[in-house]
């Protein structure tokens, strides 16, 4: 225990001795380093070797992703390190001054230029950011930045879509053999990331690549996956439940007089949903139109057909003096026999005998009821089939 206390005391006093430099010492150091310093010249005594630049990207937050305009707005930090031998010194000559800081406009920095900006082309950092320099000439530049880049969205599987967005940078004014950029990690660091309410980050990448002209690009890639819970609860389920009402319209008694009104109201509600989703999606059809758009259009078409079928059904069941056509009569008789064959118990009484005697007669009211049953079944099958196809294609 005594040895541990002695070691701690020795470290404490040594730290006090090492850190005894004053403001005057650091001022003299800065004056000496910047005298004759040309920030337009890149570091490196031997120009036959490229300057090694180490980089890492830390993502803080995703601020906005507008699918209509393709604008991705986020906040992140670049940690960039390099060796500038012109900024090295002997700490003994400056009372053990081991490190100092310079505004980034005072010393040379690798000028990262964003080459896929949403609006103006900007470089990293600002005059408020400093470069930390150690006595060995090691420079650390922590460039925090709000970035706005272009990301073309593929909304084919909306709201189950995933997007891959990239931020591309280029060190302007230097050839590939003059500066060599290397990332400390093949992925972006998410230790400081604040979760976004709409998008999840499933993967990330940070690397360099040569473009078509042979120049090196610095690329930060983010794989984004949409959070679907909100869209399922407040968009998909209400829309499917609303569309299912189209089939139940045919179960309303014709005497109620509400068939046309209900079917028209449901059709207008589906059109409203289509308008809301169109506002969320980009107008461009590249690479493909959203599947949910096709789904809603099919619902609109089925809604329009349902309104027409309701009108025909009411027409059938109204007082009509014209005889029932032969092909319709044959179909009704076939359905009548089919229904009888499914009954396992038959009651033989005077009423059933009368029905047997009149089984060859078919009225328009019976035609209308059979038409309603057929439309009801077809409507539910169409809804189930369309929804199943959409979910199978969107989730796959």
| Model pLDDT, residue 286 | 61
Residues of the chain with CATH 1.20.58.390: 230-324+363-395
pLDDT class for 139, splitting at 50, 70, 90?
A: very high
Does residue 352 register a pLDDT over 70? no
CATH superfamily of 230-324+363-395: Neurotransmitter-gated ion-channel transmembrane domain (1.20.58.390)
| Model pLDDT, residue 5 | 36
pTM: 0.78
165 touches 149 (CB < 8 A): yes
Paired strand residues for 216 = 210
Segment 10-64, tens digit of pLDDT: 443 344 444 577 889 999 999 999 999 999 999 988 888 999 999 999 999 999 9
Residues of the chain with CATH 2.70.170.10: 2-227
Which whole number is the average pLDDT over 175-182?
Answer: 88
Q: Which residues contact 110 (CB under 8 A, 6 or more apart)?
A: 53, 80, 82, 171, 179, 181
| Model pLDDT, residue 215 | 80
Segment 238-261, tens digit of pLDDT: 888 888 888 898 888 887 778 888
The answer regarding whether domain 2-227 maps to CATH 2.70.170.10 reads yes
Which whole number is the average pLDDT over 197-217?
Answer: 88
Which whole number is the average pLDDT over 384-393?
Answer: 91
If one compares 101 and 278, the residue with the highest pLDDT of the two is 101
Does residue 285 register a pLDDT over 60? no
Coil, helix or strand at residue 80: strand
Nearest alpha-carbon partner for 196 in 327, 34, 60: 60
């Amino acid at each position: 225990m005594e040895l541990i206390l002695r070691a701690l005391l020795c470290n404490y006093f040594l730290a006090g001795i090492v850190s005894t430099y004053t403001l005057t010492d650091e001022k003299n150091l800065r004056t000496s380093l910047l005298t004759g310093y040309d920030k337009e010249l890149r570091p490196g005594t031997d120009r036959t070797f490229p300057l090694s630049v180490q980089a890492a990207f830390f993502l803080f937050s995703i601020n906005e992703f507008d699918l209509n305009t393709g604008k991705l707005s986020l906040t992140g930090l670049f940690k960039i390190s390099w060796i500038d031998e012109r900024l090295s010194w002997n700490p003994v000559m400056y009372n053990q001054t081991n490190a100092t800081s310079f505004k980034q406009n005072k010393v040379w920095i690798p000028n990262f230029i964003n080459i896929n900006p949403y609006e103006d082309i900007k470089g990293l950092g600002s005059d408020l950011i400093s470069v930390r320099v150690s006595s060995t000439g090691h420079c650390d530049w922590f460039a925090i930045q709000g970035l706005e880049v272009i990301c073309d969205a593929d909304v084919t599987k909306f709201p189950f879509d995933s997007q891959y967005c990239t931020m591309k940078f280029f060190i302007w004014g230097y050839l590939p053999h003059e500066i060599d950029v290397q990332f400390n990690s093949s992925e972006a660091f998410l230790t400081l990331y604040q979760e976004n309410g709409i998008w999840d980050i499933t993967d990330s990448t940070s690397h360099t690549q040569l473009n078509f002209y042979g120049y090196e690009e610095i690329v930060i890639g983010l794989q984004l996956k949409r959070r679907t819970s909100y869209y399922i609860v407040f968009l998909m389920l209400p829309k499917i439940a609303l569309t299912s009402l189209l089939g139940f319209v045919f179960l309303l008694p014709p005497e109620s007089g509400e068939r046309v009104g209900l079917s028209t109201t449901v059709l207008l509600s589906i059109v409203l949903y289509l308008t809301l989703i169109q506002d969320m999606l980009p107008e461009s059809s590249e690479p493909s139109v959203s599947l949910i758009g096709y789904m809603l259009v099919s619902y609109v078409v089925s809604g329009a057909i349902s309104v027409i079928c309701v009108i025909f059904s009411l027409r059938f069941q109204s007082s009509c003096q014209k005889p029932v056509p032969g092909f319709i009569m044959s179909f009704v008789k076939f359905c009548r026999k089919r229904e009888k064959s499914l009954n396992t118990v038959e009651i033989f009484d005077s009423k059933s005998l009368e029905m047997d005697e009149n089984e060859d007669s078919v009225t328009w009211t019976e035609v209308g009821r059979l038409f309603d049953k057929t439309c009801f079944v077809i409507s539910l099958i169409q809804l189930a089939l369309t929804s199943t196809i959409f979910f199978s294609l969107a989730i796959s």
